[in-house]
A and B are shown apart, each in its own frame.
Chain A
Amino acid sequence: MATVTTPQTRVSLTGNDAAAEALRQVNPDVVPAYPITPQTELMHKFAQFHADGLVDTEMVLVESEHSAMSAAVGASAAGARVATATSSQGYALMVEICYIAAAYRLPIVMPLINRALSGPINIHCDHSDAMLARDSGWIQLWCENAQEAYDNTLQAFRIAEHPDVLTPAIVNLDGFILSHTAETVDILDDEPVKAFIGGYTPERSLLDTDHPYSIGALFLPDNYFEIRRQQAQAIEDSLPVVEAVGREFADLSGRSYGIYEDYQLDDADLIVVALGSTCGTAKVAVDELRAEGVKAGLLKPRLYRPFPGPQFIDALRGAKAVAVMDRAISYGLNGGALYHELRSFAYRQLDIPFLSYIYGLGGRDIIVDEIKTIYRALAEVLDKGLDVREARYIGVRE
């Protein structure tokens, strides 16, 4: 257990406020921003800090999210420490540039306030925007609550900027559920955060005219593949960095961070896996089931890209059945993305039933009792020896 010597202040903040507070303490060089519900208040808060002279950031209010990420790429290539934030359609609008940011190895940090992709148009929480980011080459961290929104936003800079990594990072926080709900958050003092984050001195910068270079050249079939292979290595190499930064953060704050959270997994027979705030609800379900004598457990991934498949599978060893909850659909895949990814790493490792549950689309609520039915379904699969091949939906009106 880490010894906490860093003073902290307990405050009530929404997830958006918490992420904005982290950005205030980091004091990025450039923040290009465009509003979209439910991210808007994050940048409102940051803009207020800026207006009050609490940050030195060059804040650029651009005309679209595509411009926001374009400005972020330009600024980062020029050697600035850059952050922005968005949700859903805003992410979809900027996505072409996001792939580019990752390919150019620019360590931009972006809170992504998870909101359903249209259509139909919906402003509420689901994970479809994060799923759109899956193959973009960005590191993905997930938050269960506002404390994690603050803590992960800080750590994201250290992870992204690490010389072995130099890859942009998304910090996912559930729209409205986390972004707009006030929770207790322990905030570190400015000076220790500044020391933890450190300065950002990129190896090269477009503003350094003594060492000119070009970025964004055309890469023909004879060279493109090598860039992408290199990028793949960098995101793989970020996994130990995520762990190392997590340990350093634990020493600073007293709060441990790794690549997943183990909630009663040790002797668990029935395990549910989920991303984001649903884990908070699931923990209550686990506690209630444990009180009834059911050996329930929860695997809460924190790092989603790179996908720590072998580590997740190790966490699941000993389980008798696993249900994976996905708050997004991949049409035609018969099961969510997280489900399929996890199950594929279980290949020839764990010979147990894996169930897929699609839930919570467009902000459809998921409650403790519903999650308990998932555990009961796992128990039923085991009792009856069922071979479940179809993804299930929970919470939709049949």
Chain B
Amino acid sequence: MTTDIKPHTWKTMPRGGIIPEAGNAAAYRTGAWRTYRPIWSAENCIHCLTCWILCPDASIQAERGKVKGIDYEHCKGCGICAHECPINAKVLANDKLSPEEKEKKKAITMVLEGETAASKE
């Protein structure tokens, strides 16, 4: 289920279609929409927070200036994080690395849901 919010009948629906709870978008599990999921590498990340700034779903988890992980309940798999990551860019531009080496050095890798970064080897 994309959401745990119980569907309203016409009688229980808040009048005028208002949303009476502040910030309840968090209860809607948009992560269920994902086709590709981002895998974050703690070793390769430099905590520049570019992905955190650009994520449209506020799904990069960060604490005190350091990335902690990905909120898979809300990440929709758009790939902006991987696309904008400066480490990924640097790695991809390094012609001395093989494709397999590049995958291991990236800070964020997009994999198909159901696969892991490891299973891609």
Contact = CB atoms under 8 A, between A and B. Distances in A.
Interface in B17-36: 17-22
Interface string A198-223: 00000010000000111111010011
Q: Which of B9, B15, B19, B21 neighbours the largest number of chain A CB atoms within 10 Å of its CB?
A: B15
A106 interface: yes
Interface in B21-77: 21-22
B16 A223 contact: no
15 contacts: A104-B18, A106-B16, A213-B19, A213-B22, A214-B18, A217-B17, A223-B7, A223-B17, A225-B10, A226-B10, A226-B13, A227-B13, A230-B10, A230-B11, A233-B10
B15 A226 contact: no
A166 B16 CA distance: 9
B96 interface: no
Interface of A: 103-106, 166, 204, 212-217, 219, 222-223, 225-227, 229-230, 233
B120 interface: no
A226 B16 contact: no
Given A212-B22, A213-B20, A166 B8 contact: no
A223 B13 CA distance: 9
Given A215-B16, A216-B17, A226-B8, 20 more contacts: A103-B17, A104-B16, A104-B17, A105-B16, A106-B16, A166-B15, A213-B18, A213-B22, A214-B18, A215-B18, A217-B18, A217-B19, A219-B17, A223-B8, A223-B13, A225-B10, A227-B16, A229-B10, A230-B15, A233-B10
Interface secondary structure of B, over-half rule: loop
A216 B17 CA distance: 7
Nearest to B12: A226
Interface in B89-107: none
A215 B15 CA distance: 10
Contacts of A217: 17-19
Contact of B17 (A166, A212, A227, A233): A227
A173 B8 CA distance: 40
Contacts of A213: 18-22
Nearest to A211: B20
B9 A226 contact: yes
Interface residues of B, number: 14
CB-based closest 9 A-B pairs: A105-B16, A229-B10, A214-B19, A226-B10, A212-B22, A104-B16, A226-B13, A227-B17, A213-B18
Q: Which of B8, B10, B13, B16 neighbours the largest number of chain A CB atoms within 10 Å of its CB?
A: B16
Contacts of A216: 17
Nearest to B13: A226
Nearest to B23: A212
A230 B12 CA distance: 9
B16 A103 contact: yes
Nearest to A227: B17
Contacts of A225: 10
A217 B24 CA distance: 12
B81 to A, nearest CB: 25
B18 A204 contact: yes
Nearest to A230: B10
Nearest to A225: B10
B27 to A, nearest CB: 13
Contacts of B19: 213-215, 217
Q: Which of A214, A215, A222, A223 neighbours the largest number of chain B CB atoms within 10 Å of its CB?
A: A214
Contacts of B15: 105, 166, 230
A210 to B, nearest CB: 11
A92 B63 CA distance: 52
A230 B9 CA distance: 9
